[in-house]
Amino acid sequence: MAQPQAPITLTIDNLTSDGDGVGRMGREVCFVPGALPGEQVLVRLQGRRKKVWQGRLLEVQQPSSDRREPPCPHYQRCGGCDLQHMDEAAQLAFKQQRVEREFSRQGIPVREWQPAITGPLWHYRRKARVGVRFSKEQQRNFIGFRESASEHLHDIDRCLILPEHPLYNWAAWRDLMATLRGRDIITQIETLDTDNALALVVRVLKPLVADDQQALLAFVQANAGERPVQVWLNHGRDKPMECLWPENPEPLLHEVDGMSLVMQPDDFIQVNGDVNRQMVAQAMDWLKPQENELIWDLFAGHGNFSIPLARRSRSVLAVEGQASMVSSLQAQAQRLALSLHAEVADLSGEGALARLPTPDKVLLDPPRAGAAEAVREVIARKVPQVLYVSCDAATLARDLTHLIAAGYQADKAGIMDMFPQTHHVETMVLLSRKGKRNG
């Protein structure tokens, strides 16, 4: 089929895993970002990719009852919140259906689906990386997020999923940048909204001159509001971060399971604090760690699950690939007098867990690539019970097929809406070896 020069009308009958509308032209398929099932839309074809046409939405001729006006003025260009055109109830239904569809494709039965965990729909994101780019042609800085399917930064003034705070006024940051001599060496502003302070990490290609540092601090102090604020400079990989203000910063804290955990400004943290608290509570309820059990927490981070598990079990072996997080986790366990041992290991590598003693239960919380090697080890050890927390339904389903084939069954599963207004979804699955099911 040759690409038509004129726009075409399509009826949308489904959504892709990324939330794009799916329309059909005879035997041809077209993906249309921003379109919803049941809609008739006017589309301009933009070429084919992997045997599928890509379309640009020009007009919604017959809207779905699930459609709404996106609340954010930056929605059309910012690549962040790609489902703002969809009512939140429909977003949640789409995410549930998406995970169930992935499981069905792989033939994964679930004994019991649990209600979804939900939280705030806006102003929930406690950590974000805001891009900064200096344009020589225009002699100004762009500050914002990448445009959809593009490397270009889209200027934003305010982001509706970030907390409400004067320092999240990005138009004011652009005004500040215009006064700096080093405005072309700043590449990113990372925001971290912890329980006791707001930390801003400014990434620079080389050191800021003294005048620029003073201008930055004056801007932050003038807009700090009621919350304590910390300002850090990130000089790149393998270089220690520098705290510009205050001189002696308090440790950054966030609460997990009723305990305050210490974190560094560059540590990984689940971005939705309310959903994370519910997720940890559900994990403890489902896995039911016992006082006589040894538990592995794989891809442990800085202790989001490890610390709660250690409060309830005989011992926890926490494995994480980032050495700084392992050191932090071990120090926190010692401070809290918990029986926890943390180790550094590349869990994508074969044999990373071979020398560890066999656990009674395992908790997996891998990155988007999944946990293929760890799953092989779990199967080889015949671990009675596994709790898998995933941020990618496709790799989760892939890993679950191996567990199911090895004699495990999915006792419970449920989604968690960690990222409202986007197509991303977290999923939790409790598995047991057949004949070994607990609870």
Domain boundaries, the chain: 8-67, 92-120+272-433, 127-255
* Active-site residue flag, 391: yes
Q: Do the two domains 8-67 and 127-255 of this chain adopt the same fold?
A: yes
One of 78, 81, 159, 391 is an active-site residue; which one? 391
365 known ligand binder: yes
Supply the pTM of this predicted model.
0.93
Q: What are phi and psi of 283, to 5 degrees?
A: -60, -45
pLDDT tens string for the chain (439 positions)? 666 678 999 999 999 999 999 999 988 999 999 999 999 999 999 988 888 999 999 999 999 999 999 999 999 888 889 999 999 999 999 999 999 999 999 999 999 999 999 999 999 999 999 999 999 999 999 999 988 767 788 999 999 999 999 999 999 999 999 999 999 999 999 999 999 999 999 999 999 999 999 999 999 999 998 899 999 999 987 788 999 999 999 999 999 999 999 988 988 899 999 999 999 999 999 999 999 999 999 999 989 999 999 999 999 999 999 888 899 899 999 999 999 999 999 999 888 999 999 999 999 999 999 999 999 999 999 999 999 999 999 999 999 999 999 999 999 999 999 999 999 999 999 999 987 645 4
Query: Is 270 assigned a ligand-binding role in the annotation?
Result: yes
Q: How far apart are CA 439 and CA 419, in angstroms?
A: 30
76 is in an annotated binding site: no
Residue 238: predicted pLDDT: 77
Which CATH code is given to the segment(s) 8-67? 2.40.50.140
User: Which H, E and C letters describe the chain, residue by residue?
Assistant: CCCCCCCEEEEEEEECCCCCEEEEECCEEEEECCCCCCCEEEEEEEEEECCEEEEEEEEEEECCCCECCCCCCCCCCECCCCCCCECHHHHHHHHHHHHHHHHHHCCCCECCECCCECCCCCCCECEEEEEEEEECCCCEEEEEEEECCCCCEEECCCCCCCCCCHHHCHHHHHHHHCCCCCCCCEEEEEEEECCCCEEEEEEECCCCCHHHHHHHHHHHHHCCCCCCEEEEEECCCCCCCEEEECCCCCCEEEEECCEEEEECCCCCCCCEHHHHHHHHHHHHHHHCCCCCCEEEEECCCCCCCHHHHHHHCCEEEEEECCHHHHHHHHHHHHHCCCCEEEEECCCCCCCCCCCCCCCCEEEECCCCCCCHHHHHHHHHHCCCEEEEEECCHHHHHHHHHHHHHCCEEEEEEEEECCCCCCCCCEEEEEEEECCCCCC
Query: Given this structure, which CATH class describes domain 92-120+272-433?
Result: alpha beta
CATH of domain 127-255: 2.40.50.1070
Q: Which residue has the tokens 């003073």?
A: 214
pLDDT of residue 242: 92
